Amino acid sequence: MRILALRLQNLASLPGPLELDFTDSPLRDAGLFAITGPTGAGKSTLLDALCLALYGNTPRLRQAPGREAPLPDVAGETVGTADPRTLLRRGAASGHAEVDFLGRDGRRYRARWAVRRAREKAGGRLQAVEQSLTDLDDDRLLTTQKREFAELLPQRLGLTFDQFTRAVLLAQSEFAAFLKADDNERSDLLERLTGTAEYSRISIAAYRRASEARKGVAELETRLADDLPAEAEARATLEREVEAAEARLAELNRQATELERRRQWHATDRHLSNAYRQGLASQQEAEAHWQALASARTEREWRRLLAPQRHALARQTALPEEIASLEASHTDTRQALAEAETKQRHAAETLDRAEATLESAVASRQAAEPELRIARELAQQLAGVEQELATLTRTRQERQAEATQLATRRQEQLDAQQQLMQERDRWQATLTRLLGDHDDRDAARRAVQERHDRAARRRLALGELASHWQEHQRAEHQRQELVRQRQEETRRRETLLAEGHAARERLDHAQSHLNSVSTLIERQRAVRSESVARLRETLAEDRPCPVCGGLDHPYRQRPPSSPEAAQLAAQEAEEARQLGEARERLDQAQRQHQERVGDYRMAERALKQLANDLASAERRLVAANQALEAESLWEELAAIAVEARDAWLTSQQQASEDERDRQAEALAAFAEAERALAPLDERLRRGEIESTRLETRRQGLDQELAKLEAQLPPRRQEQKRLDAELRARLGDYPSADAWQQQLEQQQAQATQARDSALAHRHVAEQEFQRLAQRREHEAERLTQLRQEQETLGRELTAWRHQHPELDDATLARLLAQSEDKARAQERALDEAERRRQQAAATLAERRQQLLAHRREVTPERDEKALLAEAMDAELAQQEAASSEAQAELAPKLEEAQQARDAAVYALNDDDRKRARQQKGQAALEAARAEYRRWGQISELIGSADGKAFRRIAQAYNLEQLLEHANAHLGSLSRRYRLIRGGSELGLLVVDHDMGDETRSVHSLSGGETFLVSLALALGLASMASGELTIESLFIDEGFGSLDPQSLALAMEALDGLQALGRRVGVISHVQEMHERIPVQIQVEPLGNGTSRARLVSV
């Protein structure tokens, strides 16, 4: 994997656009390059852009709090601090990061991350991030979808985000802290660097699962003990009670069924009797109604006789009115026809006048065409002259404005030159002041640098001394705390051991008590069993009793009287209670014993762990003492009282740091003065050149303005001449186009008038033809109606002579009757006939039903007796007797039902208890197996704080890390090798140059510490990348605390990385690093939160 190019725009303090091409000179030829600039300038933004383009996130943003700490954005919007869009430069409408890389498959790819605001405006709302991946070898876009991008990018690059941040962005500064940390701090750092947090979670989860499994076993045991089924004898009693209750209930149900059958028969008889009497009343009512409709039936016969002539009579009545209406309409039509003929004649005259007007307008337009052509030519000439005159005037104004602007710029340039000269004098005075007693700048700078380095070395030595002293104090405190914990845990173990012995005794006592109670109860029940009499008959002298085992048999000849059933039940209940209490005591004792055993085992494990921790703490204390005594300033610290050493270290560190800061400020002032003076002369020289150029341009503008002023007067005279000639030809018209438009408008109006007259004439002709046709149609219709009236009169007179009984009044009344009323009368007659027939049929049917029903109980009686009122009274008495019997049976039946239900419920409840016991025992065995499994796992790796398994995994990861780190350390320096030792996660250094002497990591110098921490960082990169070859590395900081000798050693190590084929980028603000690395990406702050990045080769 190799980074080929990086591009960015509008990210953080870098507005861009910026492109770093690692395939082009000088980066192509540089195995080592530096990213330089003061703190806060934006050096790390380049690494942020690299991560954004590839993964859409950065290591710094991953540690941000996210949604819990929103940042204000435009228009009242907020955005989370962990949102990568916050890297968009303030005030920018869009930004992007783009990386070209060589993938694991040897192909070139381009990954792009972009963000923009709505409508591409700085005040718009932030939009969703856009990501894309392109295959550069095929110039093919692979994806623009974020989810698909997140899947494809690690496949093509060969690294996930976490692997990339460990394998490409080396955490050298964190490993420097990792070397000097104690076991607890080293454990936290190792967990963060290698991503082994899941082992803590696994350890805690194993511990919790074991605890939950143990609680599950205890809960199941308690639940099963509280839900025991009945004994065998009690079970048999329940079954007998169910059989007796069901037999009693069956007999009562049979009696109730017979009584219910009788009740239903009487209810049916009462229903049939009522229906028979209702049918009789309905038949009489329907017959009376039918007789009352005799006159309506006669009128229906007249209507049927009149029906064939009804239409003819109605037509004879309507014809006179229709004829009169048609005669009036015919008269109106003749009048309208005369008016239409007049309108037709007037329309023809209007059309003739319109056509004459149109011919006149066409002739006028043709006569004006020559004058219009000449006027247009004059207008075109005038427009050209006016345009040329306007161009000359505009050019003159522009040159005048440019001349004024040039004068202003020249004055501003002169003012700026004056300010630059003043600034140069000021910086020169500052530099003179900084030189002091020294003759040249280099001597003064070396003196300040020496004082700065001396203060830095003392500050570093004091820091290491303070670190070793704090390590000594922490080790001592930890040892004392572990001793106290071991004492407390020992006392707790002894307490648990005593409680365990007591719980064992209670368990044995409860088991013995349960056995005694069970044996006694079994003997008592055997005495009360049904086979006691038979057993007594089998007793023989000098032979033991099968129940109690005794040789004396006093009841063989004189058995005691049988006890009452209530006494037997009470005794059995008391026995069951005693047996339950004994079992509950046994279960409770078992639970207490198991809990004490589990607690004791946990205490043993805790003591074992505390012993290991105490041994580790003592080794750590010894190592801390050795490291402390090896420090160069130990003698000064040893002379200080123990209680005052912390304050002394703090004050000495602060004094060294103050001195170093003062000298650093002096160095910065030197550098700032030199950087400021260098460009000032160049800016002054460029300013003089610019002033000369402005003066030359102003003189050229003056000459050009003089030429323009000479061209303007002749063009103005030509404009006036053409305008006068055009006015003379147009006359009153403003322009030739207006003249032609008026002629065209006159012709168009004449054409429109001619077309309108033609349309009116056509409408008048159509109206005349329509009215003529209507007049002929109405005359023909009048003739037809008069003939129809004469024919109907003859036919109806003949029909009336045939039916003289139908007088005029009756005929008028029948004709006046509406069809709706006639149909309603017909329906009423049909309904009365239907009801009469239906009532008779219903009465006959109900009479037969009632007779058949009563013959079921009294078949010997005739129909009259069966329908008599005496029969009704007799049946009422029988029904009352059945109801009384039912009422007496109901409470007995309910009581028997309740007894049966109670007995069945008791038996079913015992069945459920037996099923629950069977299922519960299986569940209990499974829970115990689960507890044994998780208990074994928890013994190996489980702990409440996750430390047990985490330490195992971290020890393994530390071994792997040291193996990879030593491989790299051998390439960087063959003198050292890292090994584990001193404590569980302790580190030691083997010095091959000193006869393989084992040294503490605290004894390493600054340069040696850098070498070892760099080897560890490279080892972590190898672990993260696996088999993938990483050709691009970035090291962020870690050089600020190195002295010159250590810095030289660090540079040799970096040169060694180049020799291995790696391109290494070093991010640092240390000036000495800048002087030693020729190829640099310099990030310079410009003020107002803006920086500039540029590639230089020193």
Q: Is residue 53 a part of any domain in this protein?
A: yes
Look-up of token digits 């040039």: 406
CA of 340: how far to CAs of 328, 330, 780, in Å? 19, 16, 22
Q: Is residue 862 a part of any domain in this protein?
A: no
Contacts of 662 (CB under 8 A, 6+ apart): none
C-beta separation of 23 from 1032 below 8 A: no
pLDDT value, residue 152: 94
- pLDDT exceeds 60 at position 525: no
- Other C-beta atoms closer than 10 Å to the C-beta of 886 total 17
CA–CA distance, 1061 with 945 (Å, rounded to integer): 45
Query: Per DSSP, what are the bridge partners of residue 1091?
Result: 1085
- pLDDT exceeds 70 at position 534: no
Contacts of 411 (CB under 8 A, 6+ apart): none
Q: Which of 33-42, 374-383, 624-633 has the highest mean pLDDT?
A: 33-42
C-beta separation of 79 from 70 below 8 A: yes
Question: What mean pLDDT is predicted for residues 516-540?
Answer: 57
DSSP 136: T
pLDDT value, residue 145: 93
Q: What is the mean pLDDT of the chain?
A: 78
pLDDT value, residue 564: 44
- pLDDT exceeds 70 at position 178: no
- Other C-beta atoms closer than 10 Å to the C-beta of 94 total 18
pLDDT value, residue 297: 73
> Comparing 241-250, 341-350, 809-818, which segment has the lowest mean pLDDT?
809-818
> Comparing 31-45, 431-445, 690-704, 818-832, which segment has the lowest mean pLDDT?
431-445
Q: Is residue 206 a part of any domain in this protein?
A: no
Nearest CA-CA partner of 207 in 702, 874, 750, 948: 948
pLDDT digits (tens, 9 = 90+) for 1075-1098: 778 889 999 988 878 899 998 886
Report the domain count for the chain: 2
Buried-exposed string 198-231: b where 16+ CB fall within 10 A, e elsewhere: ebbebbbbbbebbbebbebbbebbeebbeeebbb
CA–CA distance, 48 with 623 (Å, rounded to integer): 40
Q: For the chain, what is the total number of helices (H) and then of strands (E)?
A: 24, 17
CA–CA distance, 254 with 870 (Å, rounded to integer): 32
pLDDT value, residue 148: 94
- Other C-beta atoms closer than 10 Å to the C-beta of 128 total 9
pLDDT value, residue 171: 54
- Other C-beta atoms closer than 10 Å to the C-beta of 34 total 28
> What ranges in 293-309 are assigned the alpha helix state H?
294-306
Three-state DSSP class for 1027?
coil
- pLDDT exceeds 80 at position 112: yes
Residue scoring higher pLDDT (968 or 668): 968
CA–CA distance, 871 with 869 (Å, rounded to integer): 5
- pLDDT exceeds 90 at position 53: yes
C-beta separation of 694 from 410 below 8 A: yes
CA of 52: how far to CAs of 49, 90, 145, in Å? 5, 18, 15
CA–CA distance, 480 with 124 (Å, rounded to integer): 62
- pLDDT exceeds 90 at position 1066: no
Secondary-structure breakdown of the chain: helix, strand, coil percentages, each rounded to the nearest 5: 75, 10, 15
Residue scoring higher pLDDT (125 or 677): 125
- pLDDT exceeds 50 at position 562: no
CA of 714: how far to CAs of 19, 709, 724, 967, in Å? 59, 11, 16, 94
The CATH number covering residue 135 comes to: 3.40.50.300
The CATH number covering residue 524 comes to: 1.10.287
DSSP 432: H
Look-up of token digits 């039509």: 333
- pLDDT exceeds 50 at position 377: yes
CA–CA distance, 788 with 316 (Å, rounded to integer): 9
Three-state DSSP class for 49?
helix
Q: Is residue 15 a part of any domain in this protein?
A: yes
H or E segment to which residue 650 belongs: helix 645-730
H or E segment to which residue 417 belongs: helix 310-435
- Other C-beta atoms closer than 10 Å to the C-beta of 926 total 13
- Other C-beta atoms closer than 10 Å to the C-beta of 63 total 10
- 949 band by pLDDT with thresholds 50, 70 and 90: confident
Question: What mean pLDDT is predicted for residues 1016-1029?
Answer: 70
CA–CA distance, 1080 with 1035 (Å, rounded to integer): 14
- 537 band by pLDDT with thresholds 50, 70 and 90: low
pLDDT value, residue 51: 93
> Comparing 292-306, 570-584, 989-1003, which segment has the lowest mean pLDDT?
570-584
Question: What mean pLDDT is predicted for residues 152-174?
Answer: 78
- Final residue before a domain boundary, out of 639, 658, 678: 639
CA–CA distance, 303 with 821 (Å, rounded to integer): 12
- 517 band by pLDDT with thresholds 50, 70 and 90: low
DSSP 640: S
CA of 655: how far to CAs of 214, 459, 634, 651, 662, in Å? 61, 9, 18, 6, 11
In whole angstroms, how large is the CA radius of gyration of the chain? 61
pLDDT value, residue 530: 44
CA–CA distance, 991 with 999 (Å, rounded to integer): 7
- pLDDT exceeds 60 at position 66: no
- pLDDT exceeds 50 at position 561: no
pLDDT value, residue 567: 54
Residue 653 tokens, joined: 């560190």
C-beta separation of 1036 from 47 below 8 A: yes
Q: Is residue 423 a part of any domain in this protein?
A: no
Residue scoring higher pLDDT (267 or 669): 267
Q: Look at the chain and count its residues.
A: 1098
Q: Is residue 621 a part of any domain in this protein?
A: yes
CA–CA distance, 275 with 1046 (Å, rounded to integer): 125
Burial class (CB in 10 A: 0-12, 13-18, 19+), 483: middle
Q: Is residue 151 a part of any domain in this protein?
A: yes
CA–CA distance, 211 with 944 (Å, rounded to integer): 10
pLDDT digits (tens, 9 = 90+) for 842-861: 888 888 888 888 788 888 88
Burial class (CB in 10 A: 0-12, 13-18, 19+), 1002: buried
pLDDT digits (tens, 9 = 90+) for 184-225: 766 766 666 566 667 788 888 888 888 888 888 888 888 777
pLDDT digits (tens, 9 = 90+) for 712-743: 777 778 778 877 877 777 777 777 777 777 77
CA–CA distance, 629 with 142 (Å, rounded to integer): 62
- Other C-beta atoms closer than 10 Å to the C-beta of 986 total 19
- pLDDT exceeds 50 at position 563: no
Q: Is residue 633 a part of any domain in this protein?
A: yes
**Which pTM does this prediction carry?**
0.39
Look-up of token digits 């510490």: 1009
Q: What are phi and psi of 391, to 5 degrees?
A: -65, -45
- pLDDT exceeds 50 at position 773: yes
- pLDDT exceeds 50 at position 1054: yes
Residue scoring higher pLDDT (756 or 695): 756
What range does the domain containing 113 cover?
1-24+39-168+1062-1075
pLDDT digits (tens, 9 = 90+) for 885-920: 888 888 888 888 888 888 888 888 888 888 888 888
